[in-house]
Amino acid sequence: MNTLSAPCVVVGGGPAGMMLGYLLARAGVEALVLEKHGDFLRDFRGDTVHPSTMEIMGELGILDRFLALPHERVQELRVRMGDFTVPIADFTHVGARCRFIAMMP
């Protein structure tokens, strides 16, 4: 059995856990992020990245590297009901530098 130790342990390697681990390391705090799954191939693992999240990434200086990764930009969400299509969200008017959702499975 392997033994790991660190003064700070983050339980869960989802979007929040990974961001916390990153911010702690950036602040010089030795941290260990634990995740029970061996991959991130699940829908709830942050594959939709919202404008407010990308705004924080911009403040941290990592947005350009993030957006260099393969992704799709979704500026508008629509629902189709029969013959009708109804817009339900338009991100082109949000007050952030990225006016879209980044889809990054």
Cα Rg of the chain (Å, integer): 17
Cβ-count burial of 62 within 10 angstroms (0-12 exposed, 13-18 middle, 19+ buried)? middle
Q: Closest Cα partner for 53 from 79, 86, 26, 16?
A: 16
d(Cα 96, Cα 104) in Å, to the nearest integer? 19
Residue burial 76-87, b: 16+ Cβ < 10 Å; e: rest: eeeeeeeeeeee
Query: Using 50, 70 and 90 to split pLDDT, how confident is the model at 47?
Result: confident
pTM for the full predicted model:
0.72
Q: What is the mean pLDDT of residues 18-28?
A: 93
pLDDT at site 41: 63
Which of helix, strand or coil describes residue 76?
strand
